[in-house]
């Protein structure tokens, strides 16, 4: 029987796609990879922020101000807060003509590794929280933000697989999966220098690294 299972396993096609470097500029790298069954590539943006962990988390928790630094974001709000770690966020993104604007409803969960201090926001799509709106195409987002304290810097990873819904020309799709993480992280570098985030009260669930 074990031999039968082994033969079946070997006959199953396994497609593992590697990450391709698409852009490296201003201390930001963007990789993409194909995902079987998806029209749009998954992206992974990385950079380092000269900021402390609480400043970065304060920025992430300020959902309405996503419009000032998330690329293409036209509206963002927490439509349902379950507790200090979980919420549902509604986001509207602009799209270049002739593509219709998109909207997304996501469930985000805050977690932190007590040993390393690493903070992760996991992102998954949800339905039935916000009704679909006329003139907007409902898409989905799945992925995470990860913030790793290293000395006086925070290493950031922003990784997302999006299903934008409807149809998007390949040329536009291939452009946005590079442009969105790059421009978002570029603006994030500027936002963490603002005093409103630097001086923000500590997130109730955040454990700050011990000073050395």
Do the domain assignments include residue 70?
yes
Do the domain assignments include residue 164?
yes
Which of 72-76, 97-101, 118-122 has the weakest average pLDDT?
97-101
Which of 19-23, 110-114, 148-152, 164-168 has the weakest average pLDDT?
164-168
pLDDT for the residue 173 = 76
Angle at 105 between CA 43 and CA 145, to 5 degrees: 40
Do the domain assignments include residue 208?
no
Tokens of 85: 């770690």
Do the domain assignments include residue 178?
yes
Do the domain assignments include residue 97?
yes
Domain hosting residue 90, numbered range: 20-199
Do the domain assignments include residue 15?
no
Task: For residues 129-152, give the mean pLDDT.
Answer: 95
Q: How many domains does the chain have?
A: 1
Asked if pLDDT for residue 136 goes beyond 90, the answer is yes
Do the domain assignments include residue 50?
yes
Which of 33-47, 61-75, 129-143, 169-183 has the weakest average pLDDT?
169-183
The answer to whether 34 and 191 have CB atoms below 8 angstroms apart is: no
pTM to 2 decimal places? 0.89
The answer to whether 169 and 16 have CB atoms below 8 angstroms apart is: no
Do the domain assignments include residue 2?
no
Domain harbouring 175, CATH code: 3.30.530.20
Residue 176 or 56, more confident: 56
């Amino acid at each position: 029987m074990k031999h039968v299972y082994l033969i079946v396993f070997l006959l199953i096609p396994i497609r593992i796609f590697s990450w391709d470097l698409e852009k490296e500029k201003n201390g930001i790298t963007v990789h993409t990879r194909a995902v079987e069954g998806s029209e749009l590539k998954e992206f992974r943006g990385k950079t380092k922020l000269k900021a402390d962990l609480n400043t970065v988390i304060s920025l992430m928790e300020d959902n309405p101000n996503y419009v000032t630094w998330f690329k293409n974001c036209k509206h963002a709000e927490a439509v349902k807060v379950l507790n200090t770690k979980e919420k549902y966020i509604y986001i509207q993104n602009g799209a270049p003509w002739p593509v219709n604007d998109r909207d997304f409803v996501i469930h985000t969960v805050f977690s932190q590794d007590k040993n390393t201090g690493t903070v992760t926001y996991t992102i998954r799509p949800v339905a039935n929280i916000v009704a679909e709106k006329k003139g907007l195409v409902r898409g989905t987002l799945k992925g995470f933000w990860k913030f790793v304290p290293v000395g006086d810097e925070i290493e950031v990873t922003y990784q997302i697989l999006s299903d934008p819904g409807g149809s998007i020309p390949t040329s536009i799709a291939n452009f946005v999966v590079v442009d969105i993480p790059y421009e978002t992280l570029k603006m994030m570098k500027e936002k963490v220098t603002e005093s409103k985030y630097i001086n923000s009260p500590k997130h109730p669930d955040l454990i700050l690294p011990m000073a050395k």
